[in-house]
Amino acid sequence: MTAATPHSGASNDERERGPRVLIMAEHASARFGGEASLPLHYFRVLLARGIPVWLITHGRVRRELQTVFPGSADRIFYIDDTWVHLALWKASHWLPARMSYLTTDYLMRIVTQRSQRSLARALVKQFGITVVHQPMPVSPKEPSLLHGLGAPVVIGPMNGGMDYPTGIRLHRSSLIEALVGVGRAASSVLNWLVPGKRRAAVLLVANARTRAALPRGVTTRVVELVENGVDLSLWQAPAAPLPAPDDGVTRFVFLGRLVDWKAVDLLLTAFAQARAQAPMSLLIIGDGAMAAPLKEQAARLDLIGSREGEPSKVLFAGWVPQAECAGKLRSQHCLVLPSLMECGGAVVLEAMALGLPVIATAWGGPADYLDPGCGILVAPTSRDALVGGLADAMTRLARDPALRASMGHAGRQKVLREFDWEAKVDRMLEVYRDAAETHRPNTSDALGYSRAR
């Protein structure tokens, strides 16, 4: 654990000028992606605005953050692995991914939060912090240990309450199904025993679905705020829309982890159908447990290509650093996201910011972001229906460059209006101020195990 640098507390004048914010997250990382990028963005924007902000995160991201924020070492504090973390991490290798997330990974997050809580209480007192923000984990049911810190706690935005579409169920073992069921049933009890969400000043939820998924007995102060945003300094649209390709090949792209619930296997099948209807190519950016099976499927369908934009072919690009992803997407014509369990879907907003139309499953986060003006949503009523709908949508956009351009422009304008990180932080500052002004924190410890070390 990195020790805090001695520093005097805030003066009364400083307190009146605005919030002094401590952001706490297991990981704050663009490299990890997903929800781990959320705390990084809050810290980045607040720091750039000159707002007093500090960050507690895990030592795994130390090297990345030292590179990204070279002059802010005194603002970032790290929790390093203990022998408990290492034992749980080794045990997780013997378990399926879903089971480890619900068991060993969850216990690691609890151990990390316990250490973070001890450090946070010292920093709140040391720096005169007026509000503590926990942006992740985004699960509405997962308990939080962050209470009794000496400053009000804001948790979220959370996003969840999802399951697979009724018409498309991925196979899960009976043990995994039982663990998921037990976890959901026990969430209210766990959130009573671990009272962070009961004692929070504000809980932020991305949508009504997530609000309904909150455990019973949490704080009644619940505010709706979208989970994801877009860093427009990175995800910049080209000066002019990508023109219709001279070779007539429309370039489609998927960007994300190659895991079963992303349904890239259904996308490959859809592409194999659609390529017979119009010239097109498919670029798959990402890596994961399904990489090898997906390449085998593509080979069986005679889809494997050797270069980007190769007609009727698929190119697997593997993992690409985020800084390069925007450039990769700018050379494509349309994003396709067939995911069956996408609570958020930041990649949809990033593609929209670049002026790309989006084809996505009408389920979860993408359905919250897209409308008929900027993309095509395909109902997942069955596997065949989703495959057919994806193929039809790809064919339609491949045949109509004007429609691609109009959808891309509309998506870009929507992101500028509703999803810019700068605008999102403006709203979050209002939440911080409200929490600091109206909520008197309870600094007593309710449970012995959550006391500072």
Q: What is the pLDDT of residues 122-170, one digit of tens each?
A: 999 999 999 999 998 888 888 888 988 999 999 989 998 777 787 776 6
Q: How many helices (DSSP H) and strands (DSSP E) are in the chain? A: 17, 13
Q: Tell me the two tokens of residue 423.
A: 């605008």
* Residue in this structure with the two tokens 């659609």, named with its chain if needed: 274
- C-alpha to C-alpha distance for 365 and 281, rounded to whole angstroms: 26
pLDDT score recorded for residue 80: 85
How does DSSP assign 121-150, residue by residue? HHHHHHHT--EEEE-----SSS-B----SS
Residues whose CB falls within 8 Å of the CB of residue 400, separated by 6 or more in sequence, listed in order: none
CA proximity to 375, closest of 342, 334, 331:
334
User: What is the crossing angle of helices 346-353 and 401-418, to 10°?
Assistant: 110
- C-alpha to C-alpha distance for 283 and 308, rounded to whole angstroms: 7
List, in sequence order, every residue forming a beta bridge with 223; answer none if it has no partner. 204
* CA distance readout (Å), 396 to 43, 277, 280, 333, 392: 41, 9, 11, 13, 6
CA proximity to 290, closest of 312, 307, 309, 266:
266
115, 452 Cβ separation under 8 angstroms: no
Percent of the chain with pLDDT over 90: 49
- C-alpha to C-alpha distance for 371 and 195, rounded to whole angstroms: 38
Domains, the chain, in order of start with CATH, read: 12-229+420-441 (3.40.50.2000), 250-418 (3.40.50.2000)
Sign of CA dihedral 286, 290, 292, 294: negative
pLDDT score recorded for residue 241: 58
Please calculate the CA angle 55-61-63 and round it to the nearest 5 degrees.
105
Task: Identify the segments of the chain with pLDDT beneath 70.
Answer: 1-17, 93, 95-103, 169-186, 238-246, 440-453
CA 66 from centroid of its chain's CA atoms: 22
- C-alpha to C-alpha distance for 409 and 403, rounded to whole angstroms: 10
Task: Look at residue 422 and give its three-state secondary structure.
Answer: helix
- C-alpha to C-alpha distance for 41 and 33, rounded to whole angstroms: 11
pLDDT score recorded for residue 23: 96
* Residue in this structure with the two tokens 């070390």, named with its chain if needed: 453
- Give the pTM: 0.80
Q: What is the pLDDT of residues 194-251, one digit of tens each?
A: 888 888 999 999 988 899 888 887 877 899 988 888 888 888 776 665 555 667 899 9
pLDDT score recorded for residue 227: 85
pLDDT score recorded for residue 450: 35
pLDDT score recorded for residue 83: 79
Pairing relationship of beta strands 131-134 and 21-24 according to DSSP bridges = parallel
- C-alpha to C-alpha distance for 443 and 420, rounded to whole angstroms: 35
CA proximity to 261, closest of 407, 354, 364:
364
Q: Tell me the two tokens of residue 205.
A: 């939820």
pLDDT score recorded for residue 274: 96
